[in-house]
């Protein structure tokens, strides 16, 4: 009986003499590791069976019977596949361990070396878009214009425009001809 099944059995809670064994998921995983996970050492020993003409035995151990049979019949793909497996054996064992226990997949090396992808803050993007739109519009923009251009509500746009004023990146003024309240921006100094 597996550890998971033993832990899942019903316990009579009405019996005052019942003793409970408290196990965490880490405890269960340690017990499962000792019983079920393939060993790198065993896989290397089975890889060495190629010396006696039994290439691919390690693949049967790692639950890859079809490629194991192919390796047996072709002497490890004429020795090339057997040699490649020697260098990949640790990763093959780790992959089988993860597959058996439904752990997350391994992250390829090129993914680990890539720079992280940063999430763009929607409010910061809106502030940047508002500034760009105002500069393209002669250095000023009204709340109504910004709401239409950005596809946002007037409240969202006004909140961001006001935060730009507080940060000193914009000023509130009146449009010179229409008198409408506008937010003015100046182009950054080059």
Counting other chains too, the contacts that 154-163 makes at CB distance below 8 Å and 24 or more residues apart are 156/126, 157/126, 157/130, 160/123, 160/126, 160/127, 160/130, 161/130, 163/127
pLDDT tens digits along 78-128: 999 999 999 999 989 888 887 755 555 555 545 555 555 566 778 888 888
Ranges of each domain in the chain? 3-36, 40-113, 122-184
Q: What is the CATH number of domain 122-184?
A: 1.10.10.10
- Beta carbons within 10 angstroms of residue 153's beta carbon: 10
Q: How is residue 113 written in tokens?
A: 């070396």
Closest CA to 185 of 134, 143, 129, 133: 134
Question: What pLDDT is recorded for position 20?
Answer: 44
Q: Name the pTM for this structure.
A: 0.38
E strand or H helix at 183: strand 181-184
Chain mean pLDDT for the chain: 76
pLDDT tens digits along 139-168: 888 988 888 888 888 898 899 888 888 888
Alpha helices in 51-168 (DSSP H): 57-61, 65-78, 80-100, 109-113, 122-136, 143-150, 154-166
Residue predicted with more confidence, 187 or 84: 84
| Mean pLDDT across 178-185 | 86
Counting other chains too, the contacts that 143-150 makes at CB distance below 8 Å and 24 or more residues apart are 143/181, 143/183, 146/183, 150/126
């Amino acid at each position: 009986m597996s550890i998971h099944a033993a832990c899942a059995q019903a316990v009579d809670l009405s019996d005052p003499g019942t003793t409970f064994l408290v196990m965490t998921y880490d405890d269960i995983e340690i017990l499962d590791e000792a019983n079920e996970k393939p060993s790198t050492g065993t896989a290397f020993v089975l890889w060495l069976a190629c010396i006696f003409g039994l290439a691919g035995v390690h693949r049967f151990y790692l639950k890859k019977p079809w490629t194991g049979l192919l390796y047996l019949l072709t002497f490890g793909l004429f020795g090339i596949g057997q040699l490649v497996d020697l260098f990949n054996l640790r990763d093959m064992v780790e992959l089988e361990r993860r597959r058996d226990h439904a752990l997350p997949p391994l992250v390829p090396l090129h993914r680990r070396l890539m720079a992280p992808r940063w999430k763009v803050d929607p409010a910061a993007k809106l502030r940047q878009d508002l500034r760009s739109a105002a500069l393209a519009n002669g250095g000023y923009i009204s709340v109504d214009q910004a709401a239409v251009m950005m596809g946002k509500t007037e409240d969202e746009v006004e909140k961001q425009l006001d935060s730009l004023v507080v940060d000193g990146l914009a000023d509130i003024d009146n449009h010179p001809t229409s008198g409408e309240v506008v937010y003015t921006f100046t182009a950054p100094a080059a």
